[in-house]
Structure 1
Amino acid sequence: MMRKTLCALILMMSSAALIAQTSITGTVTDEQSGQPIPGANIKVLGKALGTSADFDGNFILEVSENPPFTLEISIIGYSSTTVDITNNNQVVNVSLTETATSLDEVVISASRTPERIMESPVTIERMDVREIKNTSSPTFYDGLENLKGVDINTNSLTNKVVNTRGFATFANTRFMQLVDGMDNSSPALNFALGNLLGMSELDVKTVEILPGAASALYGANAFNGMLFMTSKNPFDSQGFSMYGKTGLTSSEDAGDNRFVDVGFRGAFAFSEKFAAKASFSFLKGTEWYATDYNEYIDNGAGNPDTVKPIDATQTSFNALNVYGDEVSLGALGLDLNQFAQLMEQGGLIPAGSSSLIPAANVSRTGYKEVDLSDYDAQSVKADISLNFRPFANDFEIILNSKFGKGNTIYQGANRYNIKNFFMQQHKIEVKNDNFFVRAYMTAEDAGDSYDMRFAGINLNKVDAQTWFGTYVGGYLQAVLGGASNDAAHSLARQNADATVTLQPGTPEFDAAVEKVTTDPDLVTGSKFVDETKLYHIDANYNLAHLIDWADIQVGGSWRQYSLNSSGTIFTDYDGPINYDEYGAYTQLQKKFADDRLKFTGSIRYDKAQNFDGNVSPRISFVYSAGAEKNHNIRASFQTGFRNPTTQDQYIGLDASEAILVGSAPDNLDRYTTVPLEVSTVGQSLGVPGQVTLSGRSAYENSFTLASVQAGNPTKSNFGYVQPEKVTAFEAGYRSVIEGVTVDFSAYYNKYEDFIGNKTVLVPYYGQTDFSDFDPNSMPAPPAAIALSQGDYQPFQVYTNSAADISSYGAGIGLSTKIWSGYNVGVNYTYSKFDFDQSTDPDYEAGFNTPENKVKVSFGNPNVFENFGFNINARWNDEYLWESTFADALIEERTVIDAQVSYSLPKWKSTFKIGGANLGGKEYFSAPGNGKIGSQYFASWTINP
């Protein structure tokens, strides 16, 4: 019944288009070159009636309006024009003038209202359909890295993380990403999904990036930058388009691997009141292989870890991209000699032979990441939109659904194989030029995703006792045969690995991996479950049409998280955890002094369930100097804040190296450890043989890691995590000087209560303030004895740093045209981080950003008829990367991307060949990631 009703509705709306009374035909061309302008929008002024030009710039518009009326012809990058229609069958041939500079382009995100970039109160970067068409990168999302001040951290082939102004991680919770107004961050994992759930490049209208804080308009988490992707409206951009792309990824570790990337978009206006669109894209390739088999020795916060190659004579180790080598006798509270004594008592080795066994810690040989992952990179995206304009004007109702499914690699505290991850968003939006009301829901399903560290650990735990027993026997046999200690250890490991360890590539190994990666209990498995949902409503009203003395906007939002990991990530053992956030704001804009001075003032109040409210003001001035008002000077002050994430508050996860526990008041007692074995010395103090610890003990009865490492155990005193804040000052200048576009900005950010992790050690017994120590009856405080006996558990707590942290930087971009059509651009970004480590020795700020970056572009989309090219080069210097996974210096790098394109108007097609990182020098985006090689591609795009 529903299907019949929908078909009837579409037929009725389609019939309205067939009774058109007026037909207009024409062509849209570039005024300077005379070349057609595909995709130009042709619209009846003041009405929701229009069409778009085809690949040859031709159009046919049939409307029910009777002349006279006016057409508006426009496209991004050109000045719009109008034409009066006075009779039926009129032929309209229009030439559009290319916008003089990029500063004349219109943006919306900076003030939630249309304005030229020239007059924007803050720094803003932008990419539109022209840049997408000419990008030298394999995808438009990769091409964002060529913008000034923008960094992209490559988590994997299908997951790229955009960042601005420092403090970058792969879980970049300080950067917000909106797709058609919807936040497409994972509500449980807390990171923006890049373009894994984004939009097809065929459907992208504009991409805008706001570096810096924007909480005054966008609320919590609009802290260090925002990215806005806006899709094409089916009323304005109609027709069917498609693309196909293939090529190779090439690196020393992964070899040469083919990838394919295909997509289509169909959009049609069935009448002046109803339009619809659908887009789909599919990408499949092979991830960059992570093959760093060195050890990273923790040197403490603020210092890069010592990188040490594995020594063949070592008995225990913990290599970076090897998992399962964490399983050791030391983790069980034993050394090799003690284990041999137990074997001797059980009659498993000859009496007295344990005396030949040294007191060494021995760990199992782990499994390489390449053996625990198939490195299958995949992304499937679909987007469906139904658009209604019931009054045939700007009032519009939009029903939109987005779906994304894929495989990728994610690096956080551990490395995660995100497999068959599924995310969907559903939105209803009502809007016109003066307001919008938007409600959407985000739902995700982790699919078959798993933690690769725990996969290795639990594979090795299954037969650990047998492996260590075989190791002891092999060592004994070797030393009795005259081998040295080092040689005996080496032979013992070879023997144990060969006879006990599951061998990669065998059916037995594959079956064991399948069992572990489908088991959600981290004691025995590695799968994580996630069916978290997010509900969001926001609204905005612009009073400009009601008030003539200023532009005033008001708005607000409400959000609810529903955490549902079945206890595998959060402490939601008994059901979903729900909590809310809400906020409201207002903004006023007014021009003074012959419209040369524009003032913008905004203020927002936000409240989250577990925290006090935050007020975020912003004040900015833009002054347009010069006779043509083309020297624009701006200054702004604003504050921003970031609420602790879902994981900061509600995580309860044993990550092997440490237990992560969030600090929400209702989370502390809900998390408890598995039973922990107490040493014989501890039991002699009257402590039971097994104890459990709660999350509260990590915050209230623990030692700081730094004090224990320094030999002076000190009770930790970390408060529960609170929102972090930033106070931001920015100044800038935009102008066109003798044909050269100049865009300069400088900023200074001062942070308070910076959120981060602290590692603490919780003793199994005793008070860390030593209040239970009686020197008359005890040799030492019980908690100190616990440390000496290994009776303690590392936790990572979420808290705020009391240290003074600030960052500052500047950027300048220059662009111009030379030789009648060749585009030349260069930009430089300086970023600096100021943090006195001595004020908070345990804290890792994770600035993770090069101090100096230079980017250069050179190209021409029309060197001669239908032929174009583009080249981009990027350089940055060495910088320190800090994360919970590993710290290391990232080497400086130079990356060159290039493409050449050829258009075939007869086929409405554009062909492109290109490559990324053409120099071929491989580089790390972060320690632990796969080394990034080169990517070569060829594409065919068909546009109407």
Structure 2
Amino acid sequence: MQNQSWAQLVSGKVVSEETKASVPYASIKLIGPEYANRRVGVSADENGLFTLAISKFPVTLEITSVGYLPKQINLVKAEQNLIIQLEPGDVVLQEMVFSAEKITEEELRSPIQIEKLTVKELTNTASFNFYDAVVNLKGVDVATQSIVINTVNTRGFNSNTNLRFRQFTDGIDGQAPGLGFSLGNIVGPSGLDIESVELIPGPTTSKYGPGAFNGVLDMRTRNPFDYRGLSFEVKGATLGSDPYDQSFISLGTDFLGEASFRYANAIKNKVGFKVNGSVLSGVDFKAVNYDNIGPGAAFEDTHSISNQSINVVNHYGDDRAALLVVPVRVTPPNMDGLTQVSLRDTAFFVTRKGYREEDLVNYNAQNIKLNGSLHVKLTPKTELVMASFFGKASTMITGDDRIALRDFEIQQHKVEVTNEKFNIRGYTTMQDAGNTYNVGRLAEVMIQTAKPDAAWYNQYRNLYIAGRGNYQTVRNIADSGFPGGSGYESRYKPGTERFDSLRQVVINSIDPRNGARIFDKSRLYHVEASAKLNAWEDFFDSFEVGASARMYDPESRGTIFTDSIGNDVTNFEYGAFAEMSHKIDSRTDATASLRVDKNENFNIITSQRISAVREIKPNTFVRGSLQRGQRLPNIREQFFNQNLGDLTIVGGLPEVVDQYDLQNNAFLESALNKYNQAIGSEINRILAQPNGQVNVESLKYRYLSILEDGIIGTDQFNGIKPETITSFEVGFRSLVESKRLFEAILYVNHYRNFIGVTRVIKPRTSPLTDLTLAAEQANNPGTSDQYYVSDNSRNAIITQGLELVYDVTSDEGTNFVVNTTFANIIQNTDDPLTPGFNTPSFKLNLTLGHDRISKNFGGKVSWRYRSAYDWESNFVDGRIPGYNTFDFQMTYRIPKIYGAIRFGGNNVLNNAQFNAFGGPEITAFYYLSFGFDPF
């Protein structure tokens, strides 16, 4: 056997044996055992000409085309100018070949929904990198964190910190152990090493573990035995950066560049290796939402005489408002035409002046990735794999607050033995937060360092009552070091030396009292094994069993978790599953699975699934499934204990939440809001009357029952419980004439003990001691604290959705896909839990493309629409307006050098938009790349 380190070129022409005329668009693919699970090949052009890169010989080619019989030829070396003659034959046989190219029969009759993207589809997607290709699949939501990181989700409850969606690369869980979710693809493969991406929407807990409630993204890389040689790619991009420039073409002034390479080889087909690397560097998307989400109009982004309570989205430090009740002088005319002076109460909310995000961070972004693997064939079918992945990133993300990742590192190391009958895998994930810091916490510390809230609000109120000037004069005095000698300082102004020096001190400190830096060197250790058994072969067509064990070792020095000095925290869990399938008859398949899991902090949980698929006519299948799954609270939901400045995020374990003594001592935030709304509505009603006089104190007393009903009782926060889902799904999939694919999926998910957050306010005085004083304190950030506690819903939560797909490919090769999704949530309005559904009720995707518009030219365009929806998160709540996005990519191939030039743009209509409230604004984005890839 001849082994090649570099791919070699095979070229030729496909003609009709009968007429010698060219056969346009014939399919030329490699066949054999090593290509059983993947497609490697090309299509001839309109003149029947083709060029194919092959890395090793001998090889068998299969040539097919509609109206001709398939033909196989063997090659022992690279050849050019091949003339391949096809014999005219039955069209039906060849339609089956095209059916396999569009969708395999195995995919058609799959008991679960699987969306698969091949190398060709990933390469030709209208996006800057392959990872973004999934956004055009049906039902997919993406939360754009930055130019480096996107968070993928399906079936609702989208978030920047998606805890219900799992992501894998070659079997390795992609989550950062200290965060509990995957940071996009910062440590994953580059586009040069990706072979396929599979998206499995919905609950898949039986096989992928108890965290896979919303879906799984499974990425597979290229094996060095099959893909040998050198590949490289360079890209450049420009971002539309001017917020006032809404022209169709807006190249902007911010730039981004990326370079990547891959090299793979094998020795005597026994030992293979590969190395990959990529560097991305440039300017990030910016979070510049300056809308006011407090009282008043959205455009009121500065304090004014009519609104002292603005709360701007990407301002930090102005989040919590204080309710001030003050007497004011009024001079209504009397009956004699003279004036009389009197006092009456008024009440209004006041916030402090925060800092813009752009004053606190720089928007430089970088992602460095290195990975490699060694593959040893122990037997022809058994392979030992040792692989390592390394990623380092500096960028912005949105978690429970805005986070500036700085020199953030993730390492993953894997050892695996695998063949077609069994798999044994062990890996570890290690993260290091580097110089990462919390932006909101930074702003809070700088504001409180100058003057604490308690002093600031007290001064503001006293100065206002004393008539020391208008609102601006009062605010300026409160923002100053007044009174002298008190130790207070004037508000630090951005751009000054005092501001910059204090900022540097705060972001370098991990002290929970006055620092913003995040220390996180958490670890994850995982082992698993699975085997396909031959037991009960007379009944089961397949029978697979598996088991896994995992340990989390968080290390944050108390900045994130409860692992302060002297309190080491670890968490251990393990589980096992069995999955079997049975053919009921020639047209009906049934599948069942069972999983059992145990976490050291919770009782045993189980997940079950049963599904059936029936062929109702050739290439047309219906399926149905019923699943009951349980999700264990993850490491964050158990042990989180992070002070963000204006609030504290608290895990749900009793030993974590009990330290804050919330039972009988705190209010539900929703109850406080209802209380304030009731008082505000009554004040407005009275003041609208002639000579209306308001006694705010009496109104506060009248509505105290609202707050009393919202006191945290002893039946709350007694320990978080696993979340349960019962999911029912039916699907229809039909392939017509091997060209048109129709698909429809309907699902209903019923959740019990849904895990979200319960928001509470704790005043300095217990409401059981003095309810009136506690109410006053709860409305002042200087005399109360805010907590978001991981908790279970009191009532059931139901989500439902409908997904439709039409995918057609013409005889000439043009592909058109339209898919749409409808989704909604049903929740009891009395439930205090905030679920964060964060999903548009309507999504529509359109794509149109042709890989061979001409001999070497191809292109694709896509258009996406999302309806408006509400966004809820620990960071900020708000309304995301509906938006649409248009993307395109054009590809010019240079076969003689295995090269391709690509030019494209994302959001080329320049509709400034965001898909996560409080996150970055996505502007027009254009890119140009050149790649050398023999595959």
TM-score bracket, normalised by the shorter chain, equals 0.7 to 0.9
Q: Which residue of 1 aligns with 2:163?
A: 173
Which one of the candidate residues 634, 638, 662 is aligned to 1:645?
634
Farther-moved stretch of structure 1 (700-709 vs 898-907)? 700-709
Q: Equivalent residue for 2:823?
A: 831
Q: Tell me the CA shift for residue 895 of structure 1.
A: 0.6
Q: 1:410 aligns with which of 397, 420, 428?
A: 397
Summarize the Cα distance change of 1:491–1:523 in structure 2 as closer, same or farther, 3 Å threshold.
closer
Query: What is the rounded CA distance, in whole Å, between the counterparts of 1:873 and 1:88 in structure 2?
Result: 44
1:462 and 2:442 matched: no
Q: Does 1:131 align with 2:121?
A: yes
1:801 matched to which residue of 2?
Answer: 793
Closer/same/farther in 2, CA of residues 101 and 807 from structure 1, 3 Å limit: farther
Q: CA 1:735–1:42 in 2, change beyond 3 Å: closer, same or farther?
A: closer
SS of match in other structure, 2:800: strand
CA gap of 1:24–1:186, structure 2 versus 1, over 3 A, is: closer
Spell out the pairing of 1:212-361 with structure 2 (5 A cutoff).
Answer: 212-253=202-243, 256-297=253-294, 309-313=301-305, 317-325=310-318
- Superposed, 1:479-498 pairs within 5 Å as 485-489=470-474, 492=477
Matched to 2:317, the amino acid is G
| Cα contact 1:296–1:308 (8 A) shared by 2 | no
Structure 2 distance, partners of 1:528, 1:74, is 58
TM-score after normalising by structure 1: 0.81
CA distance in 1, matches of 2:303, 2:295: 17
Tell me which of 125, 139, 150 is aligned to 1:160: 150
Tell me, yes or no, if the aligned pair for 1:222 and 1:641 is still in contact at 8 Å. Answer: no
1:367 to partner: Cα distance: 1.9
Q: 1:673-822 maps to which residues of 2 (within 5 A)?
A: 694-695=659-660, 697-699=661-663, 701-708=665-672, 709-710=674-675, 711-712=704-705, 713-714=708-709, 715-716=711-712, 717-718=715-716, 719-738=718-737, 739-766=739-766, 770=768, 792-818=784-810, 820-822=812-814
Match of 1:376 among 364, 385, 388: 364
Partner of 1:844: 834
Give the direction of change, closer, same or farther, for the CA distance of 1:616–1:469 in structure 2 (3 Å limit): closer
Equivalent in the alignment of 1:940: 930
| 8 Å contact kept, 1:399–1:429 | yes
- Aligned-partner Cα distance in 2 for 1:41–1:486: 77
In the alignment, which residue of structure 2 is the partner of 1:387?
Answer: 375
Counterpart position of 2:525: 535
Tell me how far 1:409 sits from its aligned partner. Answer: 1.6
Q: Once the 2 structures are TM-superposed, how far is the Cα of residue 579 of structure 1 from its aligned partner?
A: 1.1
Gaps of 5+ in 2: 16-21, 44-49, 87-93, 245-251, 328-345, 483-488, 676-703
Taking the aligned partners of 1:580 and 1:250, their CA distance within structure 2 comes to: 47
Unpaired segments ≥5 residues, structure 1: 1-15, 64-69, 108-114, 300-304, 338-357, 670-693, 774-778
Higher deviation after alignment, 637-646 or 903-912: 637-646
The answer to whether the aligner puts 1:61 opposite 2:52 as a matched pair is: no
Using the alignment, how far apart are the partners of 2:783 and 2:176 within structure 1? Answer: 37
Displacement, 1:382?
1.3
User: What residue in structure 2 maps to residue 432 of structure 1?
Assistant: 419
With over 3 angstroms needed to count, the CA separation of the structure-2 counterparts of 1:186 and 1:59, relative to structure 1, is: closer
Contact (CA 8 Å) 1:105, 1:116: kept in 2 or not?
Answer: no
Query: Alignment identity in percent?
Result: 30
Displacement of 1:868: 0.9
SS in 1 for 2:196: strand
Deviations 1:301-338 (A, max 9, x none): xxxx988643333556543212234699x69xx9999x
User: Aligned pair in 2 of structure 1 residues 798, 80: CA closer, same or farther (>3 Å)?
Assistant: farther
Q: How does 1:93-108 map to 2 (within 5 A)?
A: none
Are the structure 2 counterparts of residues 600 and 557 from structure 1 closer, same or farther at C-alpha, using a change threshold of 3 Å?
A: same
Give, in angstroms, the shift of residue 849 of structure 1.
Answer: 0.8
1:912 corresponds, among 898, 902, 920, to 902
After the TM superposition, which of the residue ranges 730-739 and 394-403 deviates more from structure 2? Answer: 730-739
Is the 8 Å Cα contact of residues 611 and 624 (structure 2) preserved in structure 1? yes
Q: Given the alignment, which residue of 878, 891, 902 partners 1:888?
A: 878
Q: Aligned in 2, Cα 1:52/1:426: closer, same or farther, shift over 3 Å?
A: farther
1:71-86 correspondence runs (5 A):
71=60
Aligned to 2:434: 447
Kindly indicate whether residue 652 of structure 2 is the aligned counterpart of residue 659 of structure 1.
no
When residues 199 and 33 of structure 1 are mapped into structure 2, their CA distance, relative to the original with a 3 A threshold, is farther
1:547 is displaced (CA, Å) by 3.4
* Secondary structure in structure 2 of the residue aligned to 1:390: strand
Check the 8 A contact 1:25/1:61 in 2, yes or no.
no
Report the AA paired with residue 670 of structure 2.
A
Greater mean deviation of Cα atoms: 204-213 or 636-645: 636-645
What is the CA–CA distance in structure 2 between the aligned matches of 1:657 and 1:83, rounded to whole Å? 70
SS of 2:206's equivalent? helix
**Alignment check: 8 A CA contact 1:42 1:71 kept:** yes
TM score, norm. by length of structure 2? 0.81
Choose which of 534, 548, 556 in structure 2 pairs with 1:565. 556
Q: Could you tell me which residue of structure 2 aligns to residue 353 of structure 1?
A: none
Deviation at 1:797, TM superposition (A): 1.6
Q: Give secondary structure in 1 for the equivalent of 2:145.
A: strand
**Contact 1:828/1:852, CA 8 A, preserved across alignment:** yes
State the 1:758 CA deviation. 0.8
Deviates more, 1:782-791 or 1:525-534: 782-791
Render the CA deviation track for 1:562-605: whole Å, top value 9, x for unaligned: 010011001101354111111111111122322x1111111111
In the other structure, the counterpart of 1:182 is 172
Superposed displacement of residue 707, structure 1? 3.4
Taking the aligned partners of 2:592 and 2:886, their CA distance within structure 1 comes to 42
Q: How many residues align?
A: 840
Contact 2:730 2:745 in 1 (8 A): yes
- 1:464 CA displacement: 2.6
AA matched with 2:533: L
- Segment of structure 1 superposing worse, 787-796 or 873-882: 787-796
C-alpha displacement of 1:163 = 0.8
Please say if residues 463 and 474 of structure 2, whose CA atoms lie closer than 8 Å, have aligned partners that are also in contact. Answer: no
Could you give the per-residue CA deviations for residues 647-699 of structure 1, whole angstroms, max 9, x where no partner exists?
21111122223222212244345xxxxxxxxxxxxxxxxxxxxxxxx23x125
The separation in 2 between residues aligned to 1:221 and 1:787, in whole angstroms, is 36
What is the distance in 2 between the residues matched to 1:928 and 1:843?
A: 21
Question: Relative to structure 1, is the Cα distance of residues 149 and 241 closer, same or farther in structure 2, using a 3 angstrom cutoff?
Answer: same
8 Å Cα contact 1:51/1:61 also seen in 2: no
- Per the TM alignment, residue 132 of structure 1 is displaced from its structure 2 partner at its CA by 1.2
Give, in whole Å, the separation in 1 of the partners of 2:849 and 2:111. Answer: 30
Aligned 8 A contact 1:28 1:53 in 2: no
Measured in 1, the distance between the counterparts of 2:568 and 2:14 equals 57
| Gap change, CA 1:223 and 1:327, over 3 Å in 2 | closer
2:503 aligned counterpart, secondary structure: helix
CA distance in 1, matches of 2:623, 2:141: 24
CA distance in 2, matches of 1:530, 1:940: 38
Equivalent in the alignment of 2:862: 872
The question of whether the paired residues in 1 share the 8 Å contact of 2:303 and 2:309 is answered with no
Deviation at 1:414, TM superposition (A): 1.4
